[in-house]
Structure 1
Amino acid sequence: MPLRLPPLPALRFFEAAGRHQSFKLAAAELNVTPSAISHGIVGLEQALGVELFAREPRGISLTASGADYLSYVSEAFSLIAIGTQRLPNHRADRPIALSCAPTFASRWLLPRLAGFRARWPNVNVSVDTSHRQVGFPVDGFDFAVRMSRAPVAGTAWTRLFGERFVPVCSPAYLANLRDEQGNADLRRATLIHVNAASEDWQAWFDATGTEGIDTAAGLRVDTIQLAFEAAAMGLGVALGRRPLVDRDIDNGTLVQACAATIASTTAYWLVSAENADRRPELFDFKRWLVSEAEHFDTHANPADQALQSTAN
């Protein structure tokens, strides 16, 4: 007797909505409307005879039954994806799919990809910088670069490198911040905040013992790249993240508002899909990326340490 399964499109809607805890984000990922996601899940709930989501004024949340069901549905989609990838000669020429933040991609990864292409000219790489959670292997990604304090259970995590924070602004803006002793007075500055950053100005103030500055005031943007651009335009002082800000400091677009730097508590990690070592090109890409990060970290740290000792 054949198995009776719920409608598979509705299950796909449910898996994405449950993972994102949002109909809107699920719709953006699957390239459908939020209404289609909502109607699909209502139909699924009616077919199953159980409520999967609690609808609340501020959004949705999984019910206890929905959370339990999601674990089975997610595992089922993962098994299908893994089985498909292991088929003989399945899409052997497909690009290596990497998800990462846009600023990391433009300022660290892309300048180094030419080296990878020179060694493996027949291997293509696809870089996705959209702001969305990635599920391995359901979403078709092989790797993701994420900021985290520690590895997360369930996938393979390899540490790449950490960041160091230093306030930066345009040369003209810095000139206006200097007091009679020639030091930059951040109390007179407009602070540029990055909404999505796990660590921002409060972390720098706490680590350096800086007091008397309202960390809630200032200009807010949604990416590190926009923060750097706003600082370069003279709109305020951004928290520079080395190595991402190094290019701007080297070319003089941005200058350090003060010398003190602090190490972030988070780091960049390479997250790998379960089968990343089974395909030779994935193994080579991972080994290359980790090697690039190790080489960079080794050469970047001495300069950072010297800068830090200058501030002490």
Structure 2
Amino acid sequence: MPLRLPPLPALRFFEAAGRHQSFKLAAAELNVTPSAISHGIVGLEQSLGVELFVREPRGISLTAAGADYLSYVSEAFSLIAIGTQRLPNHRANRPIALSCAPTLASRWLLPRLAAFRARWPDANVTVDTSHRHVGFPVDGFDFAIRLSRAPVAGTAWTRLFGERLVPVCSPAYLANLRDAHGGIDLRRATLIHVNSASEDWQAWLDGVALDGVALDGVALDGVAKDGTAIDLNDGLRVDTIQLAFEAASMGLGVALGRRPLVDCDLASGALVEACPQTIASSTAYWLVSAPNTDSAENRPELFDFKRWLLSEAEPFARPSDVADAGSHRAGH
């Protein structure tokens, strides 16, 4: 007697909602309405006779039974995706699908893709800059570039490079910051904050203090001898790093530059370093994929793309990072 399975669309709704912990995000991914997701999961719960989600005013969360069931459903979809990819001719002309944050994509990745296309003209690349969570291989992505302090279990992570944080502003704004003796005092500057950044001005001040570097007119804890401190609560706030760089280039204040993302602005002269003190970010960019996705036997173009991307990232790794820049498998 054949096994009786729940409806496939309802399982797809459940997998996406469970992965995102949100009906709204699942709906956006699957191009349906949140109401459709909700009704589909209610029907699934009634069919199974078990509650999969806890509904609360502030959002949803998986029940213990739902979390256990999700692991099986996710694995089943992964097996279907892998099996589909291995079908004869299925991989023909399929692009390399990469998920990447928009600022890194526009400022670091895209300027280098021409070189990749020149070496591998038959390999097509799709870059997705949405901020949604990526599930391998169910979502159809081959790689993702993510900013993180460490690898996350369940996927293969390869370190690309870390960032260097340095204050930047326009040349005209820097000239206005100088005092009669030519010094720069950041207490007089409008600081540009990025709401979405995991590390911002507080991280830079803490790093400068940890390195034992004295700022002009400001002690290591960000407080001057006269008791005046750098006000981290004041200033201009934006939601992306790109907007922060643009605001700084327009003379609206001092942004926290992130090298190598800000290198093109420094090279062009649109931005200059407001002070020379730089610190290493505690996070790094990692290339993420499903285990064995990039094996040369599976899809040779993925192997070539990963090898090329690592070679492009190598010059941006600090000497102390080189030993750590190899491939890491989370959980090992």
The answer to whether the superposition gives a TM-score over 0.5 is yes
| Seq. identity, % | 84
Q: Deviations over 1:188-225 (max 9, x none)?
A: 22222222222111110111124222323332222211
1:289 to 305, 309, 328: 309
1:236 paired to 2:253: yes
- Correspondence list, 1:158-169, <5 A: 158-169=158-169
Q: Deviations over 1:232-277 (max 9, x none)?
A: 1222211100000011011111111111000011111111223221
- Report the Cα offset of residue 12 of structure 1: 0.9
Higher deviation after alignment, 171-180 or 278-287: 171-180
Deviations 1:56-94 (A, max 9, x none): 121111111111111111111111111111112213211
RMSD of the TM alignment (CA)? 1.6
2:78 is the counterpart of 1:58: no
Shift of 1:292: 1.1
The structure with the largest helix share of the pair is: 1
Moved more, 77-86 or 182-191: 182-191
Alignment of 1:227-306 (within 5 A): 227-274=244-291, 275-277=293-295, 278-297=298-317
Q: What one-letter code is carried by the residue in structure 1 that aligns with 2:233?
A: A
Rounded Cα–Cα distance in structure 1 between residues aligned with 2:144 and 2:114: 19
Q: Following the alignment from structure 1 to structure 2, what is the Cα–Cα distance between the partners of residues 190 and 59? A: 37
Tell me how far apart the structure 2 counterparts of residues 269 and 259 of structure 1 sit (CA, whole Å).
27
Separation in structure 2 between the aligned mates of residue 216 and residue 77 of structure 1, nearest angstrom: 46
Q: Distance in 1 between matches of 2:49 and 2:176?
A: 66
* Aligned partners of 1:141 and 1:273 also within 8 Å: no
Give unmatched runs, 5+ long, in structure 1. 302-312
- Give the structure 2 partner of residue 305 of structure 1: none
Q: How many residues were matched structurally?
A: 300
Task: Give the drift of 1:30.
Answer: 1.1
Structure 2 CA distance, aligned partners of 1:57 and 1:176? 50
The unaligned stretches of length 5 or more in structure 2 are 210-220, 223-228, 322-332
Alignment of 1:70-89 (within 5 A): 70-89=70-89
CA contact (8 A) 2:260 2:316 kept: no
Match runs of 1:31-46 below 5 Å: 31-46=31-46
Higher RCO (CA 8 Å, separation ≥ 6 residues):
2
Output the CA distance in 1 between the equivalents of 2:45 and 2:304.
Answer: 44
Q: Give the counterpart letter for 2:309 in structure 1.
A: L
TM-score (norm 2): 0.86
In the alignment, residue 109 of structure 1 is paired with which amino acid? L
- Matched residue SS, 1:258: coil
Q: How many angstroms apart in 1 are the aligned matches of 2:152 and 2:164?
A: 22
How many Å apart are 1:298 and its aligned residue? Answer: 6.7
Q: Identify if the C-alpha distance between structure 1 residues 298 and 190 changes in structure 2 by more than 3 Å, giving closer, same or farther.
A: closer
Question: Would you say the 8 A contact 2:27–2:34 is kept in 1?
Answer: yes
* 1:221 alignment counterpart: 238
CA–CA distance in structure 2, aligned partners of residues 3 and 151 of structure 1:
38
Q: Which runs of 4+ in 1 moved over 4 A?
A: none
Supply the distance in 1 between the matched residues of 2:34 and 2:179 (Cα, whole angstroms): 53
